Amino acid sequence: MNALQRQIENGVRILKQGGIVVFPTDTVYALGADAFKPKAVKRIYEVKKRPRQLAFPLLIADMSQLTAVAESISGIAWFLASHFWPGGLTLVLPKADSLPAYLARESNIAVRVPDHPVCLALIQCLGNPIIGTSANISGKPATLTADEARRQLGDGVDLIIDGGKSPGGGESTIVDVTHEVPVTLRQGVITQYKIEEACKEYYEVSNDAYCSRL
What mean pLDDT do residues 36-58 have? 95
Residue 32: in which H helix or E strand, if any? strand 29-32
Domain locations in the chain as residue ranges: 3-213
pLDDT at position 106: 84
Of 101, 173, 142, 128, which is closest to residue 36 (Cα–Cα)? 128
Q: Tens digits of per-residue pLDDT, 165-180?
A: 999 889 999 999 999 8
Give the global pTM.
0.92
Q: Rounded CA gap, 180 and 182, in Å? A: 6
Q: Rounded CA gap, 94 and 18, in Å? A: 26
Q: Rounded CA gap, 59 and 131, in Å? A: 6
pLDDT at position 207: 63
Q: Which CATH number is correct for 3-213, 3.90.870.10, 3.90.180.10, 3.40.50.620, 3.30.360.10?
A: 3.90.870.10
Q: Tens digits of per-residue pLDDT, 77-95?
A: 999 999 999 999 999 999 9
pLDDT reading at 211 higher than 60: no
* Contact assessment for residue 88 and residue 167, using Cβ atoms and an 8 Å cutoff: no
